Chains A and B, each alone.
Chain A
Amino acid sequence: MTLAVLSQALSLVLDPYVLWVVFASAAFGLFVGAIPGLTATMATALLVPVTFFMPPVPAIAAIVTATAMAIFAGDIPSCLLRMPGTAASAAYTDEAYAMTKKGHGEMALGAGLVFSAVGGLFGTAVLIAAAPALAEVALKFSSFEYFWLVVLGLSSAVFLTFGSPLKGVVSLLLGLLVAAVGLDNPAAFPRFTFGNAELSGGLTLIPIMIGMFAVSEILRNVAAMEQPWEMAQARIGNVFTGMWRLAKRYPLGILRGSALGTAIGALPGAGADIAAWMSYAISKKFSKEPEKFGTGHVEGIVEAGASNNSALAGAWIPSLVFGIPGDSITAIVIGVLYIKGLNPGPTVFMEKAPEMYAIFFIFIIANLLMLPLGVAAIKGAKQLLRAPRELLMPVILLFCIVGSFAINNSLFGVVLMLVFGLLAYVMEENGFPVAPAILGMVLGAMLEEHFISSMIKSDGRLLGFFERPIAGALGGLALLVIAWPLVRAWLERKGGKP
């Protein structure tokens, strides 16, 4: 990295247009994150049609800022309504609400805000240090390594969650089947197109994602519209009071949460929500006062709050370096990167260095901006949570329609959005997770291509997949993840409940 690159990156970021986009998407992210039922992934899916028309740096900046804000803002309704604003806050929603009930709402919100920013900056630092270095290594990767990375990502998405692994596999297979539609396969044969021109290019992923992440959420919201939201605490004082004391009291927890979050984020396929659950559990396990957990104790919020925001930055490492998404947000981002000509891969750090460093700068700005804007969001929480859902949901729905249409200027996009929105709704109602399907759609073509070229290289011997050292290690790791449910079941049987 040279000074010239850095100054080029800075000038890309300090453009008034970019800064305006950052502010606007920050406000958007805070709003979407704070409303229960509107998630960070949904914020990303809704932003894509708009970023479609922007230059690369502001387009990516919009998504980075909005998601960072949304993951923090998810803590606000956790404290006030006992409803997580995004899935990443669910791990400590009960804890935060219990704190508010005890009259410590300020501290719960403040810890969420301050340690979200700390975790986010930690994850960003790792991203800046690790991604270009990893890219150097990845330059030597062949189809074997890529094949195993894809398998690792897909299996993490299926097996490192809480639901039924079998249903996760089903979801993944459905995603892979969607990816198989069209001409984009090694033989360039039109598969499952039924002579339809719209299908020969493959199913456009952005309307599908708007359907699966936004329309399905709206359906869920609409079905549950009758229950009013009740706020636990109306007045909120200074949220920064006592934060320094917390930082001095739990330095290890903050570091552990940030590091684990970054690692889980960087693991292809696992994202902020899993990071928060794991960090909360670890915090309880190593705490000096584990009996206080669940009664309104801040320690777990500090660690898990840092963890989910650091995971967000960590997820960009495999996305930028290998084009393999770290979570469902970056699964959408990868599509945007391709559209913007910032094709992810190890060479992107040489060919598009100023843009990459501009993205890093945006991460830093977004996490710093989180502090003042977060305070404003907390202060305005009362009004924010009173946003009339009966007016909001229809407007979001219209926005989804226009967004899905705008990608190809085709009504087929709206049809895709509806079909996949319904599918995702029914799937989630029946315990089939949606994330593996998304990863399957994004990675299907890559999986097939690298498998076939590896098979040709190794002359059809499966052992050839383990003969290169890094490929072998990645393969071993992937097999470990696949075996994880069995290991967990065995551990549970051996030692009672974990």
Chain B
Amino acid sequence: MKINDALSGAALVALGAAVLWHIQGFPPMPGQKFGPAWFPGLIAAGLIACGALLAATRLRAATRDPLLALPAWTRRARPLASLAAVVAGLVVYVLAVDTLGFHITAVALLMVWSRLLGAAWRFALPVAGAATVIIHLAFYKLLKVPLPWGLLKGVVF
């Protein structure tokens, strides 16, 4: 996604302003000049200056770009769907893993992802299963990472 520098510049100015506003509530350090607000204040000032500069440079240029431009591949269905699936899959993982459990979520996501990227069922299925089992063995068994069991609580292995 190509964002026009004028737009990202404006966003940076807004971010800087929001930080400046937020740090007004930070308490001063008794007895000295540099309290907790000092460093973020400097960063915020920098963000505002850079954002303004970025926007100004863009606006002064002769060419007029659209505010948002999508690269050519986004007009084709496949890459767009794959990209969306990666992001959506990660969101689904965060929301669902505690209920469904790691194993079910992982196998499902791997299958959806590899199918969308163009893998055949006969590869997608065994790879999803094998990868999940290997991660289970490496992280749950060996490294003792508490991956949630969810629905499979009854069959803990």
Contact = CB atoms under 8 A, between A and B. Distances in A.
B14 interface: no
B120 to A, nearest CB: 9
Given A170-B54, A398-B110, A429-B1, A223 B40 contact: no
B94 interface: yes
A462 to B, nearest CB: 13
B137 to A, nearest CB: 12
Nearest to A188: B36
Contact of B145 (A180, A225, A402, A417): A402
Interface string B108-121: 01100110011100
A218 B86 contact: yes
Nearest to B128: A394
B128 to A, nearest CB: 8
Contacts of A405: 145, 147
A225 to B, nearest CB: 6
Contacts of B86: 218-219, 222, 397
Contacts of B102: 402
A422 B88 CA distance: 12
Interface in A161-196: 166-167, 169-170, 173-174, 176-177, 180, 185-187, 189, 191-192
A409 B140 CA distance: 11
A173 B146 contact: no
B131 interface: yes
Given A189-B26, A222-B79, A398-B106, A388 B123 contact: yes
B109 A222 contact: no
A422 B53 CA distance: 24
Nearest to A177: B43
Where chain A touches its partner, the secondary structure class is helix
Interface string B45-59: 011001101100100
Given A224-B73, A389-B117, A398 B97 contact: no
Interface stretch (A364-372, A374-382, A448-456): A448-456
Contacts of B47: 170, 173-174, 177
A441 B94 CA distance: 25
A411 interface: yes
Contacts of B89: 397
A189 B117 CA distance: 47
Using C-beta atoms within 8 Å of the partner chain, give the interface range for chain A: 35 or more
Nearest to B123: A391
A395 B119 contact: no
B156 interface: no
A10 interface: no
A226 B36 contact: no
Contact of B87 (A390, A411, A422): A422
Interface in A205-227: 215, 218-219, 222-226
Given A177-B19, A225-B117, A394-B110, A402 B147 contact: yes
Given A218-B86, A222-B82, A395-B127, A177 B54 contact: no
Contacts of B38: 452
Contacts of A460: 33
Contacts of B23: 191
B78 A390 contact: no
A444 B128 CA distance: 40
Contacts of B132: 398
Contacts of B19: 177
A401 B118 CA distance: 22
A2 interface: no
Interface in B60-112: 71, 73, 76, 78-79, 82-83, 86-87, 89-91, 93-94, 97-98, 102, 106, 109-110
Interface of A: 50, 52-53, 166-167, 169-170, 173-174, 176-177, 180, 185-187, 189, 191-192, 215, 218-219, 222-226, 388-391, 393-395, 397-399, 401-402, 405-406, 409, 411, 414-415, 417-418, 422, 426, 429-430, 448, 451-452, 455-456, 460
**Closest A-B pairs by Cβ, 9 of them:** A390-B117, A394-B113, A189-B36, A187-B36, A390-B119, A406-B145, A448-B39, A222-B82, A53-B143
9 contacts: A53-B143, A166-B53, A173-B50, A192-B22, A222-B79, A225-B78, A391-B114, A393-B113, A398-B135
Given A166-B54, A189-B35, A393-B117, 8 more contacts: A185-B39, A187-B27, A191-B36, A390-B119, A402-B102, A406-B143, A414-B94, A460-B33
